[in-house]
Amino acid sequence: MQYNFVILHLVKSAGNMNDINRSNIEAFLKLIEKAERPVIVTHAKPDGDAMGSTVAMYHFLGLLGKERRKVVLNDRCPGYLRYLEATMSAQDLVIHNDTPSDAEDAIAQADLVLCLDFHAFHRTRNLETALASSKAAKILVDHHLDPDRSLYEVSFSETAISSASELLYWILMATPQIDSKAENLPSECATALMTGMTTDTNNFNNSVYPTTLIMASQMLAAGVDRDFILQKINQEHSENRLRLKGFMLKDLLKVTDDGVAFMILDKEAQLRYNMQEGDTEGFVNEPLSIADVRMSIYAREDKGEIRISIRSKKGTSANRCARLFFDGGGHENAAGGKLLIPIGEVEEYIRKYTHIYMTEYEK
Ligand SMILES: [Mn+2]
């Protein structure tokens, strides 16, 4: 087999991708070649990067002749990402929310599990138990902090990268099958990877590394239709979604003296605006446009818990705040978590603990 050392050298020198090396790539391909029933999983409430890396891996497995591959999701992706889902054969997609036992059976019967865009099994929600008891070999492709590498035969874990989709791009480029030519990627695979990188960087607004732009350039040269992707992710939403955004920014947004902005969305408002999964994706970034704001928190009432998204400006750690006070974590400037308190107590909680955080931990 020929391995392309130009690519290996490029990603090594431009980024910080120690895991993309010859022995890891060889081990990755060997596991796939051996597998008869590979299963791909990603985190619950899949976003563009989760779906992008998942769908791309699905098509790469197809290229390698893995006809019996399956994608197992905890829940279905939001509507604006259905164009990615639609490139897969419907019988290869199993969704735990719809058919729990089929999803668990698929994981139990898998002889290889590819884990994409999450650092711990619990991020897959209802798939956690099946993953933990699976004896199959596992491969990790992820860009979050601190994964447990002992759970995986092969792990690609890099944090100095835009997205799991970009990481998967460089992994695939280093394989003999793709041979460092983006035009060798199946076109559905390339579109999915470009989507994941574009959504996780918020269209090149954050987490852009030298390798990110090289990837974008190579993808455009290979004919990936970026206009189509941008239209799908930006211009296919409902009128309700835009009105909900207006309501949140005008009526819900509060800013504390510590430079923390927060919005708390209760069930009643979600019903009033007929909110669909994924509708508020990205809204948490908006308050960072305010000069005095260093961190933005979005709290949403969701089945029995309060889901928390946190974004911060450079120099303030969303990840540390999420770990300390919101039972979560993530990336340095983009993290998430949850609260198990009544919605009526969330404002007081956020005010109290972000005050402690900003005055005692961020000084
Ligand atoms: Mn991601």
Which of 110, 66, 109, 112 is CA-nearest to residue 89? 66
State yes or no: pLDDT of 187 exceeds 70. Answer: yes
Sheet with strand 254-255: strands edge to edge: 254-255, 260-265, 295-302, 305-312, 334-339, 329-330
- On whether both 154 and 19 belong to a single domain, the answer is yes
Question: What Å distances lie between residue 225 and 84, 89, 187, 210, 219, CA to CA?
Answer: 13, 22, 10, 21, 9
Does position 163 have pLDDT exceeding 80, yes or no? yes
Tell me: do 245 and 204 sit in the same domain.
no
- Ligand 1 centroid to 46 CA: how many Å? 9
The residue among 193, 214, 180, 170 whose CA lies nearest residue 28 is 170
> What is the amino acid identity at position 57?
M
Per-residue confidence (pLDDT) for residue 363, from 0 to 100: 76
Q: State which of 233, 254, 269 marks the end of a domain.
A: 233
Q: Which has more pLDDT, 158 or 8?
A: 158
Summarize pLDDT for 333-355 with one digit per residue, the tens.
Answer: 999 999 999 999 999 999 999 99
Where residue 1 falls among pLDDT bands split at 50, 70, 90? very low
Distance 291 CA to ligand 1 centre (A): 27
Report the run of H or E that residue 169 belongs to, with start and end.
helix 164-173
Closest CA to 74 of 102, 55, 52, 95: 95
From ligand 1's centre to the CA of 123, what distance in Å? Answer: 12
The Cα–Cα gap between 64 and 132 comes to 27
CA of 197 to the centre of ligand 1 (A): 8
The CATH number given to whatever domain includes residue 274 is: 3.10.310.30
The C-alpha atoms of residue 70 and residue 64 are separated, in whole angstroms, by: 14
pLDDT digits (tens, 9 = 90+) for 220-251: 999 999 999 999 999 999 999 999 999 999 99
For residue 117, the CA-to-ligand 1 centroid distance in Å is 5
The reply to whether 270 and 251 lie within a common domain is yes
**Domain co-membership, 123 together with 261:** no
265 and 198 fall within a common domain: no
Gap from CA of 348 to ligand 1 centroid (Å): 30
Centre of ligand 1 to C-alpha 319, Å, is 14
Same domain, 9 and 93: yes
Which tokens in the block code for residue 145?
């902090």
Query: In the beta sheet, which residues pair with residue 18?
Result: none
Q: Check whether residue 229 and residue 248 sit in a common domain.
A: no
Question: What SS3 class is residue 331?
Answer: coil
pLDDT band at residue 15 under the 50/70/90 scheme: low
Of 205, 233, 261, the domain-final residue = 233
Strands, E, within the chain: which ranges? Answer: 38-42, 70-73, 93-95, 112-116, 137-142, 154-157, 254-255, 260-265, 295-302, 305-312, 329-330, 334-339
Q: What is the mean pLDDT of the chain?
A: 95
Q: Higher model confidence: residue 146 or residue 271?
A: 271
pLDDT at 66 over 60: yes
pLDDT digits (tens, 9 = 90+) for 97-154: 999 999 999 999 999 999 999 999 999 999 999 999 999 999 999 999 889 999 999 9
pLDDT in tens, 280-297: 999 999 999 999 999 999
3 state DSSP class of 70? strand
Q: Which residues pair with 103 in a beta bridge?
A: none
Helix (H) or strand (E) holding 191: helix 187-200
Q: Which of 14-23, 78-87, 96-105, 283-292 has the lowest mean pLDDT?
A: 14-23
The residue from 184, 212, 233 where one domain ends is 233
Q: What is the rounded CA–CA span in Å between residue 24 and residue 8?
A: 12
User: How far does residue 145's CA lie from ligand 1's centre (Å)?
Assistant: 11
- Confidence check: pLDDT of 16 > 70: no
Cα of 216 from ligand 1 centre, angstroms? 17
- How many angstroms is it from 162 CA to the middle of ligand 1? 8
Q: What is the pLDDT of residue 17?
A: 81
pLDDT above 70 as % of the chain: 96
- Does the pLDDT of residue 14 top 60, yes or no? no
Tell me the CATH number at 50: 3.90.1640.10
Q: What angle do CA 185, 187, 188 make, to 5 degrees?
A: 110
How far does the centroid of ligand 1 lie from the alpha carbon of residue 43, in Å?
Answer: 9
Q: What is the Å distance from ligand 1's center to 143 Cα? A: 7
Query: Are 217 and 258 members of one domain?
Result: no
Q: Look at the chain and report how many structural domains it folds into.
A: 2
Same domain for 277 and 190? Answer: no
Q: Are residues 73 and 197 in the same domain?
A: yes
CA of 207 from ligand 1 middle (Å) equals 11
What's the gap in Å between 126 CA and the centre of ligand 1? 19
CA of 264 to the centre of ligand 1 (A): 24
For residue 329, the CA-to-ligand 1 centroid distance in Å is: 13
Average pLDDT over residues 165-172: 98
In the reported structure, the alpha carbon of residue 50 is separated from the centroid of ligand 1 by a whole-number distance in angstroms of 6
Q: How high is the pLDDT of residue 9?
A: 60
Q: Range of 349's domain?
A: 239-361
Question: Same domain, yes or no, for 168 and 276?
Answer: no
| Residue 342, both tokens | 């009544």
- Residue 196 Cα to ligand 1 middle (Å): 7
Regarding whether 123 and 250 lie in a shared domain, the answer is no
